[in-house]
Amino acid sequence: FYSFYYFIDDSYIEDDKVSGFRATMFVLSKVPELGDTMFIVLRKQPLIFLHWYHHATVLVYCWYAFKEYTAPARWFIVMNFAVHAFMYSYYALKAMNYRVPRFVSMAIMVAQLSQMAGGCAVNLWAYQLKQNGEACNVSEHNIKMSLIMYFSYFVLFARFFYKAYVDRRAPRKGLVDTRGSSATASIDHSSSNGTAMKVQ
């Protein structure tokens, strides 16, 4: 049984080929996720900043962290996979024309926000370990870049959530259904005329 410290300290690739393979597949999965932007452009749907910014930065950071065998990245991978499991289950139900209650899409966005907050917490934890002179298999530069990335995601998703579900003054057109993704996040707002705006 390993401690929490182990999961933020030791490299997940060098000593464990299974974890290394899973991490490799995770990193590679970010390429087709970025390609999702192409479909939005080809369908001439609105492409909002949150969508392409999130996809592009996640792809770059994943490759960067993978090169370093960054230990805290195992947290990011697990959180991302967990949120994606619910998100794509929601998507599957929507694709099969099931009427999913609005609170489900809200819950997915809350999970996304929790993921971003968790990412910030893990980075701060790793930084504190290094400041205390303890071994932690991640560079300070990686921690800073990851912290900036996660914090910016949190701000952007919080703003999106507020406009979609809280602000009564915000126009509601096009904000009917929501889906989310993360390090990595996908939100799909379908309007009454059948068009959709997707953020991932």
Q: Position of tokens 């490759």? A: 63
Measured distance CA(23)–CA(27) in Å, rounded: 6
Measured distance CA(181)–CA(120) in Å, rounded: 17
Active site residue ranges: 54
Q: Position of tokens 């805290």? A: 72
